[in-house]
Each structure stands twice: as C-alpha cells, then as structure tokens.
Amino acid sequence: MLESTIWTEKYRPTTFEELVGQDEIVKRIKNLVNGMNIPHLLFSGPAGTGKSSLALIIVKQLFGENWKDNYLELNASDERGIDVVRQKVKDFARTKALQSVPFKVIFLDEADALTREAQQALRRTMENFTNTCRFILSCNYSSKILDPIQSRCAIFRFKLLEKKDIDKRVKLISEKEKLLLDEEALTVLYEASEGDCRRVINLLQSTASISPNITKDLVNTIVSSAKPKDIKIVLEYALSGDFLNSREKLLEIMLKEGLSGQDIIKSIQKEVWNLQIEPEIKVKLTEKTGEIEFRLVEGSDEFVQLESLLASFVLAGQGKS
C-alpha cells in the first residue's frame, strides 16, 4: 500500500476537473486556454489551494507531451535577486516556442519573495518579450507585488478550500490507497489543515504509515496541536480563578505534546469561542490572545507570555478587565 512517494506529488491534479474548490477560477482559465492564448497571470492566495497545480495544468493543456520544452519554473524564494531575471528568465523568454502555440510560459512561484529590484527588472522583461513568452506569477500576498506588474496581469485570487472540497480529495486518495476513514477523522484532518490541501494530504500519508485504519485518535497523534478538550480544561481552570492548576495543566500539555507557544495560542484562540461566557468577554480575550501572539513572534519568553494570558482569563472570570 505505502510506496516511497510523496502523495502531494503523486496525487497532484492533472486536469481542470481534478482541481477542487476553485470552480470559478478554473472556468475562466479553461476558456482562455481553449482559445490557445493567455495573458500574463497572477495567482494570489494561501498555500495549498491549487496555484502551482493550475499553472502546470495550463502548460500541459497548451503544449501537450512537449510541455517541458516550453516551460520554465523558478521558485522566487530560493532565487530572489535581479540576476535571476536578467539571466535565466531573459535567456528563456527571448527564444520562440517549439509548438504551434506562439509563446513559452515562465512560472515564478512565490513571486512575492522577489526583491524590489528584481521585480522592476521583471516588469521590463514582461513588456519586451510579450510576443514570445507569458508569465504566471504565484504569491501568497499580492500586496507585495509591485503595482506595475499587477496591472500587466490578469489577477486570480484563490480561496481556502472548504471541508467538502478537502473531503472529496481525501476520499479519492483513500480509495486508491485502500484506507479506512471515519467521519470524525475527516473532520480532524480538515481542522488541522485549515483549508490547505497539501497539508491535509501530508497528514493523511503520515497517519497511513502507522495504520490503514484512520481514526480520530490516530490523526490527533500526528497533528502537532493541542487537543481541544485539554485546552478547554486549562481555560476553565483559569476562568474559575484557579490560576495554579491552569498553569500546571498548560505546562503539562506543552511538555507532553512538545508544542510551541504559537501552537498553544492558535488552540486557545479557537477554544475561546466555545466557552460559556459573555460575547463581550470573548471579544476582549481574543484581543488579548492576539497581543500575546504578537509578543511571541517578536521573541518574548513563551511560558511567561502564556502565564500572562492565563492571568487575563482569571481576571475575566472574576469580572475584572
């Protein structure tokens, strides 16, 4: 059952119909490809939503079996400088395509990692080689792409995948790999993935390496996040005024599960809204959670900051701001 392959590559969508969760985008792109002509494209959105897969599908649909001869892929996060645009990109762009399609395709993944100077050079390259080359840019944050580049592209914004989209892909893989999944396991996989299909497939493969019978508990052993029921106990201790037990339980979770402060913060933020407290208090505690998360990102001591957050929950339980 388990091969020495990475499932995210093995089960990468190869046709427009296989790409889930981006129906409107796929429909518009498909019309462009059927016309054998596309503008420069900018794909923007979270990781694991199908941006790179769609770029590959476009190229394969345009060029068929010889797509590799007319396609250049660069990961801008590895090659960020202006020299990449001046050398690799220009050298590839200035030559004509070998197929009936009159242009080649260059795919720049994580284009928002390009330096400002590299983006300026890319803008000129996009202008000068429009007749022989089309660019597909992929990024997480379109705001980091220079406006002149954005104005030269048709922009497509990808959304996080919904549970029904993730379930569809997971069930397909389960059938082919002969795995048994229950509904609870599907829910845990989706919640852990947060709409990232690549992450959910990696989690599925990791879980399947232990057992072909995928259960909720088995997935929880793989997912690097605190169990909601454990976090709920921590917060209920704090809201009842029992700071010491809340603190001890939190320390136990962090040591036992090997979780970082940021992992805990994410779990707390989700669990706040399930607590039996007034909505106004939930809002204030969510604001405090965001403040602590910022401090952690800036390098503050994890446990000291989490203790501070628990203290806020204690005060909230006592009706104090």
Q: In 3D, which of 161, 213, 163 has the Cα closest to residue 188?
A: 163
Q: What is the DSSP letter of 87?
A: I
Q: What is the CATH number of domain 228-317?
A: 1.20.272.10
- Whether the per-residue pLDDT at 4 is higher than 60: the answer is no
- Whether the per-residue pLDDT at 79 is higher than 70: the answer is no
Q: What is the DSSP letter of 38?
A: -
Domain 22-157 sits in CATH 3.40.50.300? yes
Residues in Cβ contact with 314 at an 8 Å cutoff, skipping those fewer than 6 apart: 238, 239, 241, 243, 246
For the entire predicted model, the pTM comes to: 0.79
Q: Decide: 25 and 54 in contact? Cβ < 8 Å.
A: yes
* Structure tokens belonging to residue 285: 């505690």
* Share in percent of the chain as helix, strand, coil (round to 5): 60, 10, 30
What are the extents of the domains in the chain?
A: 22-157, 163-222, 228-317
CB count in 10 Å sphere of residue 188: 25
* Structure tokens belonging to residue 126: 């996009």
- Whether the per-residue pLDDT at 85 is higher than 80: the answer is no
- Whether the per-residue pLDDT at 34 is higher than 70: the answer is yes
Model pLDDT for residues 237-270, shown as the tens digit of each residue: 998 889 999 999 988 888 877 778 888 888 888 8
Predicted pLDDT at 128: 85
- Whether the per-residue pLDDT at 54 is higher than 90: the answer is yes
φ, ψ of residue 42 in degrees (nearest 5): -125, 115
Q: Average pLDDT for residues 270-299, to the nearest whole number? A: 89
The CATH architecture to which 163-222 belongs is: Orthogonal Bundle (1.10)
Predicted pLDDT at 1: 42
Model pLDDT for residues 207-240, shown as the tens digit of each residue: 888 888 988 888 877 776 667 788 888 998 998 8
- Whether the per-residue pLDDT at 40 is higher than 90: the answer is yes
- Whether the per-residue pLDDT at 311 is higher than 60: the answer is yes
* Structure tokens belonging to residue 195: 């709409």
* Structure tokens belonging to residue 26: 């796929």
Q: Decide: 110 and 136 in contact? Cβ < 8 Å.
A: no
Model pLDDT for residues 189-200, shown as the tens digit of each residue: 888 888 889 989
Instruction: With both helix axes pointing from N to C terminus, report the angle between 183-193 and 197-208 in degrees, rounded to the nearest 10.
Output: 130
Predicted pLDDT at 137: 93
Predicted pLDDT at 2: 44
